[in-house]
A and B are shown apart, each in its own frame.
Chain A
């Protein structure tokens, strides 16, 4: 037991009985040791984890390099990775990628922000009023499971082919995961916490702000991350259909011009943007939820 405590302090689930409690029994030093010990280990295990995580990726890149060179696939349709990387570097240097990625990010960002601005407040209200949730959740489920892209023609008909239709479809696609996860987050707040906060005299907005909202954040964040990933996905597709800038536009344009290497460089850029966005959100999430074990 004590060794378990030393390696991983306080991993016991909240209800688990605790042993050897008295806080005076030199427990502090145990904790302090425990805090220091994993630091070195974390570094090492971090490196190991990074190595494990990149094995598959590296293998994939090697395969990509070899397949065209060894004639397994036609190099015209799949240029080797190093060639694509060279093209990529060139496009970074001449600003082509920055321009298009910038255009895409502005649209995705705008749509995503609208989704947050609509989905979070609405979700909080609906989740808090259990009656509303009962009525509205199924309705939202239907919309969420309607592929947003199927509605693209509708958006283009109504809003035209400019920026607004692209931002609108991103906003539409992102709103539902945000909304539904916010509803779920609010509804799953531990009733005991609410009861205890009420007994401490918290009421109304105070109760909401200090207990319900923070308790809902972890669940909300799964939806927010889904929405962020979805925003890029939907936007690229929309840009492929009709746009004059953006990564989706760039990829299709290069395909039509038969600049295959450029096309792959565009795809690479999308992958990098996606990973970066997700990574950024993970950081935000960690920062907001530092209290988590």
Chain B
């Protein structure tokens, strides 16, 4: 996929540590010695308890902040700041309220210097891709939460980044909308072959979307486990979430998360696991 062979790595984290200065002295370690390779074209999901450094991780990939130590590379190039090789979808949409859906999508293209005529065409094409044909001239306040998030996704895809980063993009949506957007994301991913890093606190979501699920420990965030979760593509008929494979995977991720911190509250009730839970965790193969 990537023109940049020989490496097939989309994103590479090499002992990435991020510390924040704490008011009154000292430092807070948000992420510690993180090593991770995300393949080009992979859809990787990241789950972890609140405050474990997921957003911090994404910020650094976005180039909005820099690691205290360690390096992050996109397709072999070290990240030195924001760049159009990466697109970000924030949890709170972050659309410009004074711009229509289409003008919002065009924003990144303007920065890139795409001529006006071309911009309009690309923006419409991507609004179409996320199922918002006919909504081009709506302002964000005229759109529902799910539609706003679609616009944000279209905006991040429009300038054709190699890597798409998503920080709990569907967290504020109701279950039905979330599921339809999840399927849409999978469809878009298959259609575009982007490298996607998807941060979530939902185990179901992580397993459903991810080819691999990275489980982080509580702060300071480290990789607790990497679970292979390559499920068949949803065919729109079977309820993938109720297949034994899904349930088993979901349970593995759940265990990994909770082995990290037994005191952590349970976000979802554990399913009636098919077999007695085994405590073996797949060690991160990074």
Pair B83/A10 contact, Cβ less than 8 Å: no
Could you tell me if B173 and A200 are in contact, using CB atoms closer than 8 angstroms?
A: no
Q: State which of A23-31, A59-67, A117-125, A229-237 sits at the interface with chain B.
A: A23-31
Pair A199/B88 contact, Cβ less than 8 Å: yes
Distance from A202 Cβ to chain B, minimum over Cβ atoms (Å)? 5
A198 x B82 contact (CB < 8 A)? yes
Q: Is the Cβ of B93 less than 8 Å from the Cβ of A14?
A: yes
Contact A23 B107 (CB under 8 A): no
Q: In the complex, how many residues of chain B place their beta carbon closer than 8 angstroms to a beta carbon of chain A?
A: 46
In B71-92, the 8 Å CB interface with A consists of 82-84, 86-88, 90, 92
Kindly report which residue of chain B lies nearest to residue A197, judged by CB atoms. B107
Q: A14-B92, A198-B82, A202-B111 are in contact. Are A291 and B176 (CB under 8 A)?
A: no
Q: Is residue B99 within 8 Å, beta carbon to beta carbon, of the partner chain?
A: yes
Are A291 and B97 interface neighbours, CB within 8 A?
A: yes
Contact assessment for B90 and A196 in the assembled complex, using a CB-CB cutoff below 8 Å: yes
**Does A195 have its Cβ within 8 Å of any Cβ on chain B?**
yes
Known: A195-B64, A197-B107. A10 touches B142 (CB 8 A): yes
Q: Given A10-B143, A14-B140: A21 and B96 within 8 A (CB)?
A: no
B67 — which chain A residues lie within 8 A by C-beta? none
The smallest beta-carbon distance between B19 and chain A, in angstroms, is 20
Stretch in A161-169, A170-178, A206-214 with 4+ CB within 8 Å of B: A206-214
Tell me the bound Cα distance from A193 to B63 in angstroms: 15
CB-defined contacts of A12 to chain B, threshold 8 Å: 144-145
Q: Which of A17, A206, A289, A293 has the most CB of B within 10 A?
A: A17
A40 within 8 A of B: no
Residues of chain A lying within 8 A (CB to CB) of residue B90: 192, 195-196
Contact (A200, B108) CB under 8 Å given A22-B180, A23-B147: yes
| Contact between chains at A201 and B142 (CB < 8 Å) | no
Q: Tell me whether B176 and A20 are in contact (CB under 8 A).
A: yes
Within 8 Å of chain B (Cβ to Cβ): is A94?
no
Q: Which residues of A contact B110 (CB under 8 A)?
A: 202, 206, 210
Task: Report Cα–Cα, A215/B98, bound state, in Å.
Answer: 8
> B246 in the interface, Cβ–Cβ < 8 Å?
no
Say if the beta carbon of B174 comes within 8 Å of chain A. Answer: yes
The contact of B180 among A17, A21, A292, by CB within 8 Å, is A21
Interface pair B174/A201, CB less than 8 Å apart: no
Tell me the minimal C-beta distance from A140 to chain B in angstroms: 27
A199 touches B63 (CB 8 A): yes
Count A/B pairs, Cβ under 8 Å.
Answer: 121
B155 within 8 A of A: yes
- Among residues 89 to 116 in chain B, which have CB atoms less than 8 Å away from a CB atom of chain A? 90, 92-94, 96-99, 107-108, 110-112
List, in ascending order, chain A residues with CB within 8 A of B108's CB.
200-201
Which residues in A have their C-beta under 8 angstroms from that of B148? 14, 18
Q: How far is the CA of A21 from the CA of B62 in the complex (A)?
A: 29
The answer to whether B159 touches A201 (Cβ under 8 A) is yes
Most buried by B among A11, A12, A14, A293: A14
Do A193 and B144 have beta carbons less than 8 Å apart? no
With known contacts A18-B177, A31-B142, A202-B111, A214–B98 Cβ distance under 8 A:
yes
Determine if B98 and A21 form an interchain contact, defined as CB atoms under 8 angstroms apart.
no
> Which positions 70-120 of chain A face chain B at CB distance < 8 Å?
none
Q: How far is A293 from B139 in the complex, measured between Cα atoms in Å?
A: 9
B141 at the interface (CB under 8 A from A): yes
- Asked if A22 and B64 make an inter-chain contact with CB atoms under 8 angstroms apart, the answer reads no
Q: Given the complex of chains A and B, what is the CA–CA distance between A223 and B275 in angstroms?
A: 68
Contacting pair A199 B98 (CB below 8 A): no
Which A residues are in CB contact (< 8 Å) with B96?
Answer: 193, 197, 210-211, 214-215
The listed residue (A16, A19, A195, A210) touching B107 by CB distance below 8 A is A210
A21 to chain B, nearest CB (A): 3
Interface residue? B189 (CB, 8 A): no
Pairs A–B under 8 Å by Cβ, sample size 12: A10-B143, A17-B145, A18-B145, A18-B173, A20-B176, A193-B96, A198-B64, A203-B111, A210-B96, A215-B96, A291-B99, A293-B141
